[in-house]
Amino acid sequence: MSVISQTNVRGESLFRDISADNDDAMPTEIESMCMNCHENGMTRLLLTKIPFFKEVILSSFNCDHCGFSNTEIQSAGRIQEQGVCYTLKVRSKQDLDREVVKADSAVTRIPELDFEIPPFTQKGSLSTIEGILDRTISGLVQDQPLREATDPDVAAKVSEFIDKLRKLKDVEEEFTLVIEDASGNSFVQNPSAPHKDEALTVTRFKRSVEQDIQLGIRADDDDAEEERTDDLDSMRSEVLMFNTNCPECNAPASTNMKLVQIPHFKEVIIMATNCDSCGHRTNEVKSGGATEDLGTKITLHITDPSDMTRDVLKSETCSVLIPELDFELGMAAVGGKFTTLEGLLTDIRTLTVSQNQFVFGDSGTADQMDRLKAFEDKLNKIIAGEMDAHVVLDDPAGNSYLQNVYAPEPDPEMTTEKYQRTFEQNEELGLNDMKTEGYEQ
């Protein structure tokens, strides 16, 4: 469990949105010893939320005696089920201003320079792309006098590399920044939200055994998984319950799981979590079968408000597109869901508008606010059935479903297309390295 409980004695959340109008969101000040001069300095702690992300703890230390200062960021949530990898094509100086949450378990790479910062070599930080480059340059510069005295050749090579890093800040040529975090707790801002960011690619991956050991969630000698003896027929006829932690307050909670057969589709697993401590409720849907041989692309033309009542199964590998709004929601953004079309669009509105403090907060610009407000108005019209639009469910795993109200006859307003996956889509699904024949060799 988390060391810090998310609910204080007044029953309110400790992790609050940053706002200049909220006096309760002020940082907590704690007197602590300076590790540089051993005098007393001041540590400030701020518990806040990052839009499209999660709760974090910001800490800042400053010593008035020697001038030493330090800032760190720690995730206040749990280790995620999957790791995350952000790949950003830096094409302009505006990209250097993107906000970045870099956990201490994250690996930072710049392939063009064959440069890598290994995990757990730096403390977590809340910075920008430019700030990451500045921090890297400062770390290399501080030991240069010692290198010049002991090994001039190495010092010359490091100095040449520092010059290359400084040139990246001028963005004379495009370069790539990769942040790969096995814990899933790092984040790179999308300034184009709610629209798709063409320069940023987000992929999620399954951790290796070595990464689990690094994160401390697997013992060194824990190589074999427990054998399961559950009978599939008995699982279909009952609701299974197992203990877990609440994703909001991290308090002990219970999750119910049920196998459900969807007519004209396939079997899925519905999981629902209910927390008695904070009242948080969540549900998630996972495919109960294998990855299909072909991907599925479902396009629905919304012509009537009754279309909002159609059942939707959106798997965690499915992306959602609305061409009329130039909008794309990537896979795993809202997880797997079994809901209605109205419920799906409402979740999209909540994710992109209500929780977007980067735009409506103090750092938002008037242009961003107007653009997001116009997007919200159009989305509300689609939900109300007042605007002609198309909703596209693109699932490379083929495990998503949209109800055909004319079944078993074809739906005149809905088309379903099967397609061959690309190499990149197979890579994201982990199929390229999967060996199903001759694996015993």
Comparison of pLDDT for 37 and 230, the residue scoring more: 37
pLDDT of residue 265: 65
Q: Residue 311: how many CA atoms within 13 Å on its side-chain side?
A: 13
User: Can you name the residues that pair with 100 across neighbouring β-strands?
Assistant: 127, 188
Give the pLDDT confidence of 325-367 residue by residue, as tens digits: 988 888 767 777 888 999 999 988 888 877 665 655 566 677 7
Average pLDDT over every residue of 59-80: 83
Average pLDDT over every residue of 94-104: 88
Give the pLDDT confidence of 124-166 residue by residue, as tens digits: 777 899 999 998 998 889 888 888 888 889 999 999 999 999 9
What is the chain's mean pLDDT, rounded? 81
pLDDT of residue 223: 53
> In the predicted model, is pLDDT for residue 4 greater than 50?
no
Helices (H), 88-222: 129-141, 144-150, 152-168, 209-215
Average pLDDT over every residue of 241-261: 83
**23, 101, 263 from 234: Cα distances, Å:** 54, 44, 20
User: Residue 344: which residues within 8 A CB-CB, separation 6 or more?
Assistant: 312, 314, 320, 334, 337
User: Can you name the residues that pair with 240 across neighbouring β-strands?
Assistant: 257
Q: What's the pLDDT band for 7 if we cut at 50, 70, 90? A: very low
Rg (C-alpha) for the chain, rounded Å, is: 25
H or E element, residue 282: strand 281-287
Does residue 135 sit in helix, strand or coil?
A: helix
User: Residue 169: which residues within 8 A CB-CB, separation 6 or more?
Assistant: 96, 130, 133
pLDDT of residue 5: 38
Q: What's the pLDDT band for 10 if we cut at 50, 70, 90? A: very low
Cα–Cα distance measured from residue 333 to residue 298, given in angstroms and rounded to the nearest whole number: 18
Q: Which range, 5-14, 233-242, 245-254, 429-438, is most confident?
A: 245-254
The least confident of 37-51, 215-229, 233-247, 398-412 is 215-229
Nearest Cα residue to 277 out of 304, 232, 244: 244
> In the predicted model, is pLDDT for residue 87 greater than 90?
yes
Cα–Cα distance measured from residue 345 to residue 300, given in angstroms and rounded to the nearest whole number: 13
DSSP 8-state secondary structure symbol assigned to residue 354: I
pLDDT of residue 329: 85
> In the predicted model, is pLDDT for residue 1 greater than 50?
no
Preceding omega of 194 cis (within 30 degrees of 0): yes
Comparison of pLDDT for 1 and 204, the residue scoring more: 204
Q: In degrees to the nearest 10, what's the CA dihedral of 180, 184, 186, 191?
A: 100
Share of the chain above pLDDT 70, in %: 82
> In the predicted model, is pLDDT for residue 78 greater than 90?
no
pLDDT of residue 160: 92
Comparison of pLDDT for 187 and 55, the residue scoring more: 187
> In the predicted model, is pLDDT for residue 390 greater than 70?
yes
Is this structure's pTM higher than 0.85?
A: no
> In the predicted model, is pLDDT for residue 426 greater than 90?
no
> In the predicted model, is pLDDT for residue 227 greater than 90?
no
DSSP 8-state secondary structure symbol assigned to residue 26: P
DSSP 8-state secondary structure symbol assigned to residue 262: P
pLDDT of residue 282: 80
